[in-house]
Amino acid sequence: MNSNGPDDPARSGGQELSLRENHDAERILCAAQDLWRARDLQSILQIASRAARELTGADGASFVLREGELCHYAQEDAISSLWQGRRFPMSSCVSGWVMENRSPAVVDDIALDPRIPIDVYRPTFVRSMAMVPVHARAPLGALGSYWGTSRAITARELALLQALADGAALAMENLVLRDDAERAQARMSELEAASCELAERYQALTDGQRQSDALNELLAHDLRSPAAGIMLVARSRLRDPDIPEREQHRWSKVLCSAELIQRTAMNLLDTSSREMGALVPRLEEIDLAVLLEEVAEILEPHAASRRQRIELRPGAPGGCRIRADGDLLRRVLQNLVDNAIRHGPARSAVHVEARRRDARWVEVVVRDEGPGVPVHLRDHIFDRYARLGVQGAGLSAGRGLGLTFCKLAVEAHGGTIEVRDGEGRGSCFCVLLPG
Ligand SMILES: Nc1ncnc2c1ncn2[C@@H]1O[C@H](COP(=O)(O)OP(=O)(O)O)[C@@H](O)[C@H]1O
Ligand SMILES: [Mg+2]
């Protein structure tokens, strides 16, 4: 007889083993695929414990999860209930020992192993067990098989259990990664939606801004000529030496109002965002002293209506001759003096002074005796449409464009404008110009 024939006991034993091996390999492959596809932790626990019981031919299997210093017997597949759902301190159960030592525990007879709390196990069917860590480097849990008889647990059973535990650890990591990826995807979608909304709002704003600029320009053009006509008539009436006092007062008011309308129209035009950067000064030789006098003359009726006086200190004759755009600077000073009149109390003085600082710079200072500008608002009053608190008495309130225009015009000259405390009280606007 051929010792390698079909009836040879060694050969049939080998065939049996390879059949088992094939079956185990198929079963473990199937479990690995199921674990990989699992979309939640509970499924992983179920798949792993069922496969552990089947592959090791055990009477029960448990999946224990580490929860800080506790072992949570989260899933069980057994002939009768063991510890399903219960939690034990790490130090008082075998799964705790496995996780802490990051190595398997093989207990052939529970009565002989000091790691077993025998009183707890005696009422159960368990007589032997094998337990392996899930994720050996930093155990997330433990996977164990239990038998109802004392028996020598084989290296093969232990290897199968460990292979399953490794598959479960991978699946658990995969779950976390997938959750993170889904969260990241959701966050990205949120961000995308938010940025779309922002873009739409920005577009709407810029459309609105463009429309309002266009409207402002239209308004400014339509207002400028009638205002100039009214100013002409009012000035010629006021030049009449025989004009009665009551009428003179009325025409002064008309002149101030028309002047304000014209200035507001010009401010609107020059500060419209389409015009930003387009303010190019037409430089000519000008004498600031002369400019100051012109501005005082224009605003004299406004000051008089508030019983205020404009006190001029035009500097040494010829001391403040500079190259600048006379029209733009006149309007800067008109805005500053108008503000000073509007914010100063009745019967106070508005001080307007020009002086040479040094060979390179001249300074124009407009000071009033009003409430001043709070320090924390000083940077903001030059913003477009900035109007702080209650407007001072006087003509109708402005539109918060005067100082924006002043800053644009002064900076277009290479100068600076800032507000400081007045002397004692009030505010003091300082314009520094190269010259
Ligand atoms: N001399 C001043 N004293 C106190 N506050 C002032 C003075 N000048 C301007 N402001 C504040 O700055 C704001 C902006 O001024 P401005 O740009 O000229 O706008 P408005 O069109 O209101 O005059 C004003 O509304 C006011 O609150
Ligand atoms: Mg103003």
Joined tokens for residue 20: 């088992």
Pick the CATH number of 13-180 from 3.40.190.10, 2.60.40.4070, 3.30.450.40, 3.40.1080.10: 3.30.450.40
Beta strands in 263-335 (DSSP E): 284-287, 309-313, 321-324
Give the phi and the psi of residue 324 in degrees, each rounded to 5. Answer: -160, 170
What does the alpha-carbon distance between residue 68 and residue 367 come to, in Å, rounded to a whole number?
A: 72
Ligand nearest to the CA of 350: 1
Q: Range(s) for CATH 3.30.450.40 in the chain? A: 13-180
Where b means 16+ CB within 10 Å and e means fewer, 336-354 reads: bbbbbbbbbbeebbbbbbb
- Atom number in ligand 1 closest to CA 398: 21
- Atom number in ligand 1 closest to CA 388: 27
Q: Range(s) for CATH 3.30.565.10 in the chain? A: 279-434
- Atom number in ligand 1 closest to CA 368: 1
Which pLDDT value is given to residue 271? 76
Question: In angstroms, what is the span from residue 340 Cα to ligand 2's centroid?
Answer: 9
Q: What is the CB < 6 Å shell around ligand 1?
A: 335, 339-340, 343, 368, 370, 373, 381, 386-389, 398-404, 427
Which CATH superfamily, name and number, covers 279-434? Answer: Histidine kinase-like ATPase, C-terminal domain (3.30.565.10)
pLDDT, tens digit, for every residue of 206-265? 677 767 777 777 777 777 777 888 888 888 888 888 888 888 888 888 888 888 888 888
427-434 β-sheet, strand order: 309-313, 349-356, 361-367, 427-434, 416-421
CA distances for 35 relative to 65, 175, 258, 388, angstroms: 16, 10, 84, 67
- One pLDDT digit (tens) per residue for the chain, 435 residues: 344 444 444 445 556 656 777 788 888 888 988 998 898 999 999 999 999 999 999 999 999 999 999 999 999 999 998 999 999 999 989 999 999 999 999 999 999 999 898 998 999 999 999 999 999 888 999 999 999 999 999 998 999 999 999 999 989 988 888 887 777 777 767 766 776 676 677 667 767 776 777 777 777 777 777 788 888 888 888 888 888 888 888 888 888 888 888 888 888 777 775 555 567 899 999 999 999 999 999 899 889 989 999 999 998 888 899 999 999 999 999 999 999 999 999 999 999 999 999 989 999 999 999 999 988 888 888 887 666 654 443 333 456 788 988 999 999 999 999 999 877 789 999 999 998
53 Cβ contact partners less than 8 Å away, ≥ 6 residues apart: 59, 60, 61, 77, 78, 145
Q: What is the DSSP letter of 72?
A: E
CA dihedral 87, 90, 95, 98 (to 10 degrees): 160
What does the alpha-carbon distance between residue 80 and residue 64 come to, in Å, rounded to a whole number?
A: 17
148, 126 Cβ separation under 8 angstroms: yes
